Amino acid sequence: MLGVPYLLRSELRATCEVCKAQFDPGVGGYCLRCNRLLCERHFHGGRWQRLWRSVRGTTVCRECGPTPDSLR
């Protein structure tokens, strides 16, 4: 598994590929569609979107997946 060395560190910190911020992998997400590891803000878009996605089991980021608004 080359290419994701940041996941192998003893202290689990991931780097957002959008804002380059270090974050806890547990609060962010890995988008299976654009293959990016994103922080909570860039993956989910916000607290409510995160809650919604956790219910839906979404594994794509907010840019690739449907938004709650689009499903109305």
* Residue numbers at the binding site for Zn ion (CB under 5 A): 16, 18-19, 31, 33-34, 39, 42, 61, 64
Comparing CA positions, the residue from 72, 49, 15, 51 lying closest to residue 63 is 49
**Shortest distance, CB of residue 43 to Zn ion, whole angstroms?**
8
Helix (H/G/I), strand (E/B), else coil: 43: helix
**Shortest distance, CB of residue 22 to Zn ion, whole angstroms?**
10
In the bound state with Zn ion, the residue whose beta carbon lies nearer, of 10 and 35, is 35
The 10 Å Cβ neighbour count of residue 42 is 21
**Shortest distance, CB of residue 60 to Zn ion, whole angstroms?**
5
In the bound state with Zn ion, the residue whose beta carbon lies nearer, of 17 and 72, is 17
Q: Is 31 in contact with 52 (CB distance < 8 Å)? A: no
Query: Amino acid identity of 42?
Result: H
